[in-house]
A and B are shown apart, each in its own frame.
Chain A
Amino acid sequence: MVDLPSDAEVIGRSLEQPEAFGLIYDRHAAIVLRFLGRRVGAEVAEGLVGELFRIAFERRKTFDVSRPSALPWLYGIGSNLLLKHRRGEARRLRASARMAADSEAPARRVGAAALDARLLFPRVADAIEALPDGEREALLLFAWEDLSYQGVAEALELPIGTVRSRLNRARAQLRELLEPGGKSRGRAR
């Protein structure tokens, strides 16, 4: 069996042979498109995926070739692009909250605080929305994209300790929605 060249090798080669970068698209575009779609919906994501890879191509000299996979780097470029689409992202998140509330409603009660799902999920959406950009991004890459701490650190170009503290702060914000005595419980009554 022939070993496939790593992303780092392909990107290295694309410095001299730009067409080689097409392979990076073929390998990762489907994952990246789904990531963008979860955040801003299909229509905007379809417009962004080409732009994301064009930016990656233009910045390929800055790719750290000690990393075998380009995927975290691509996530990072995508995270930056999404900052320009915060309003659409917030809309989609609220709509997702309504759908989650509807689908959980038959169970009526979720979580330790036994909050009604119809009340809880819109609050989760609001809480995610209210996080500082850096914390929200770390949380969504971790929770929605299933990136490891290391993956989130590479994507956001942060030390892993910073990722850990951002995720801890984000968790604490969300936990308040669930715990007795938390902010939301008061409001829910």
Chain B
Amino acid sequence: MKPVDLAKKLRREAAFEPAALDRGKAMLMAAIRQEAESRRQPTIIPQVPYADIPAALSFLERAFGFREIPSARFVSPDGVLLHATVEFAGGLVGVGGQGDHGAVSPASGGVESQFISVHVDDVDAHYQRAVAAGARIVNDLRDHSWGERTYWALDLEGHRWRFGQPIREVPQ
């Protein structure tokens, strides 16, 4: 007998359950969905003007948990940070200056002309974090009849943010 034939004698098939391949496919498809999900970019990105971009980035991270995407930084040739993008649970916000586009920070303009709503998983924890970082709370945490628990805060320059989480038990 040849050596390879000898090795072949020890080849033995395993007996599989009929569903064996389905479970493997489910595992693969979960990985595929996860990647597809992480690639999906929001189609609408609010651009928010600040007088002091670095201070804004630091505050947005400390208070609200928005993380800057380092690769999205836009810096002038002389090293001034002109624009940055922060990410939160798949949502994006542009953090820019008060340039030619005409939008201004409430810190210099005196008014907020809009606010931004953010959905969070745990609004109570988010509230605690914002308070600890010195965010000005303008509407305290409360439950709403439409099934949401929210609070409102102003950031360093007075932009208005609304944070909310869906709730099951709705107040009468």
Query: A residues within 8 Å of B by Cβ?
Result: 18-19, 21-22, 25-26, 29-30, 33-34, 37-38, 41-42, 45-46, 49-54, 57-58, 92-93, 96-97, 99-100, 104, 110-112, 120-121, 124-125, 128, 139-140, 142-144, 170-175, 177-178
Contact = CB atoms under 8 A, between A and B. Distances in A.
B44 interface: no
B168 interface: no
B26 A50 contact: yes
A97 B6 CA distance: 11
Given A110-B1, A111-B1, A22 B32 contact: yes
B125 interface: no
Contacts of B27: 50-51, 53-54
Given A128-B10, A177-B6, A21 B16 contact: no
A34 B13 contact: yes
B28 A97 contact: no
A21 B13 contact: no
A53 B26 CA distance: 11
* Count class of interface residues, chain B: 20 to 34
Nearest to B8: A143
B29 interface: yes
Contact of A140 (B7, B14, B36): B7
List 7 A-B pairs, minimum CB-CB distance, nearest first: A50-B27, A37-B14, A50-B24, A174-B3, A49-B24, A42-B14, A143-B7
Contacts of B24: 25, 29, 33, 46, 49-50, 52-53
Contact of B1 (A18, A30, A99, A112): A112
Contacts of A128: 7, 10
A50 B10 contact: no
Contacts, number: 118
Nearest to A101: B9
Contact of A139 (B7, B16, B25, B36): B7
A33 B16 contact: yes
A30 B18 CA distance: 11
Interface string B2-44: 0110111111111111001101111111011001100100000
B20 A33 contact: yes
A101 to B, nearest CB: 9
Contacts of B3: 170-175, 178
A49 B32 contact: no
A150 B12 CA distance: 24
B31 A58 contact: yes
A121 B14 contact: no
